[in-house]
A and B are shown apart, each in its own frame.
Chain A
Amino acid sequence: MTTFGDLFLAGLSTGAIYAVFALCFTMLFRTSAVLNLAVGDFAMLGAMGVDFLYRVESWPLAVAIIFDLAMIGLFAFVYDLAVLRTALEGSRAREAILVLFFFTFSLSLFIEGLAQHMFGTNVVSAPPLWNGPSLQFWGLDLQRPAVLLIGLAILTGGGFAAYLRFSLNGKAMAACGDNALGARICGIRQPSFRRGMFVAMAILAGVFGIVESPMTGYVFNSGGSLSLLGLISAAFAGFVKPVRAVAAGLLIGIAEAMLGGYVSSQYQDTLLFTVLVAAILIRPQILGNLNPAN
């Protein structure tokens, strides 16, 4: 029972990582059909930037966090303005998704290079935001950053779901991803929503990186694998519903931990992806409406 419980909590912590990234993918895709492959790199920038400002430059922690997140937001804003806007306006919808895939992948590589130059190649982490010994739940240990992380995933997922459901701006945002022309006809300024969501998701990923990094540590190229797992989780949520994205991330994390604990820790990733591929083959509709024509 303790083994199961420990594995469950470990899976929940890992799953919260996937959940937040799945949320970032889902919300941006829902607004603009953009898949941002650089979202994991924004998390890395959050963690490594705060470590640099706080530990190396000795800035106060709060100032370091605010400055770091502001820079991430500004960077995302400028990138959207300079690159995504141009790419979207020059392409037809079906082409745009491929073009943007390329541009966000390039952005990921660019950020990795920038981070290597600025922060070096060591594994670092932001200081823990909630210090103290592990919390005890029915004899099971749960690290405090993991509690923050799970809380962040659930809160942001719930918050975005409520925004989409209970506000006209949220519905307008969903309309942009559903039918950009229809949204324009209704007077909805789709580029503003896309830009706002691109910036917001970059900042959310940065916050996530700051919260999560004390558990795993970050290196300049950590973002790629995080983005990939977030993308997979978002795909299992159909890129549509934020709560489903969070749930899919948590479930995949738990499945990964269970497979590692009960089957083989050496092949846990291989087993996980085998299970995921099998699930898609059996039930392809899981992947939802990735096709923008839908």
Chain B
Amino acid sequence: MGNAKLQYRRGGGSILSNSEQESVPDQLRVTDLKVTYGDFVAVERASFSVRAGECVAIIGPNGNGKSSIALAIAGLVSRSGKVEVDGVLAPARNPAWMAARGLSLVPERRQLFAGLPVVDNILLGCYSWTKNLRKARASDAFSEAVDLFPELQPRLKQLAGTLSGGQQQMVALARGLAARPKILVIDEPCLGLAEIVARRMYEAFKHLNESGRTIILIEENPLRALAITKRALRVERGILDERVDGRLAEHLAEAASLEVNPS
């Protein structure tokens, strides 16, 4: 697989070549997803699929349904429609099932265990595949998660709630990674973070995608997201649209004119 054939260079979206990608089955398929909160329709009949190893951005303004899609896929809110992981139909509102099938959510606002040490937060990421503490500690998944951000090493015993926002986001991603995810759904990872930390996070996403993880990246800032993927689904007023219209094309062109490395 020569570099020239790689679709993923800067803003690639997949580590696979076009021909390889066509043969890759869908890892996640969402059909007619609808999310409502009371009378309010947050997401209306969204359908899309994501192939193994792909990186897909879900972009759009705040409050238009992006996070609701993430929460519904992860089984955290009620929904109608179908969600399939590796061809298996997912039960609605069953986050434990989703986590066990390898879909790991790194949620908006992190949702860490503020009163527990960093190391426990990361170890609890392993809970979806083991209930054995010794096995979790000795696992490659835990090691990889802890090693992902070396700056966390001296803070493993510190309470997660006492970390800075950027460090908390690193813990959230490490916890998601400890779950041995096949699919990482990352929701607004740079909310409120300094630009330098946001770049650090994006380097990590790129690395994780290159190592074969499927990534669904929910991001308000399209330029940031399009720096590591070319495939973007736009959500506006609960409607999901994959067509490359004028505005998205502008974003793509602008992203393409930036440096190869988002840092």
Q: Could you list which residues of chain A lie within 8 angstroms of chain B, going by C-beta atoms?
A: 166-169, 171-172, 174-175, 178-179, 181-189, 240, 289, 294
Contact = CB atoms under 8 A, between A and B. Distances in A.
Contact of B124 (A166, A188, A189): A188
A171 B179 contact: no
Contact of A179 (B105, B114, B136): B114
A172 B127 CA distance: 8
Given A167-B133, A184-B76, A187-B95, A289 B115 contact: yes
Contacts of A181: 76, 107, 111
Given A171-B123, A185-B105, A179 B113 contact: yes
Contact of A185 (B76, B116, B131, B133): B76
B96 A179 contact: no
A294 B120 CA distance: 17
Nearest to A176: B113
Interface string B6-29: 000000000000000000000000
A186 B124 contact: yes
Contacts of B127: 168, 172, 186-188
A169 B115 contact: no
Interface string B84-127: 00000000000110111000010100011111100010011111
A189 B114 contact: no
A187 B99 contact: yes
Interface in B131-158: 131-133, 136
6 contacts: A174-B115, A174-B120, A182-B107, A185-B95, A186-B127, A188-B96
Contacts of A171: 116, 120, 123-124, 133
A178 B179 contact: no
A128 B128 CA distance: 46
A182 B76 contact: no
A57 B127 CA distance: 47
Given A184-B76, A187-B95, A172 B114 contact: no
B130 interface: yes
Interface residues of B, number: 30
Residue from A181, A184, A189, A240 with most neighbouring chain B CB atoms (10 Å): A184
Interface of B: 74, 76, 95-96, 98-100, 105, 107, 111-116, 120, 123-128, 130-133, 136, 161, 175, 179
A175 B116 contact: yes
Contacts of A289: 115
> Which of A168, A172, A183, A289 has the most B CB atoms < 10 Å from its CB?
A168
B133 A168 contact: yes
A175 B120 CA distance: 9
A178 B136 CA distance: 21
B241 to A, nearest CB: 28
A240 B76 CA distance: 27
Given A181-B111, A186-B179, A175 B124 contact: yes
B128 A187 contact: yes
Given A181-B111, A187-B127, A168 B96 contact: no
A178 B133 contact: no
Nearest to A30: B115
A166 B175 CA distance: 19
Contact of A168 (B74, B111, B131): B131
Nearest to B126: A168
Report which residue of A179, A188, A289 has the largest number of chain B beta carbons within 10 angstroms of its beta carbon: A179
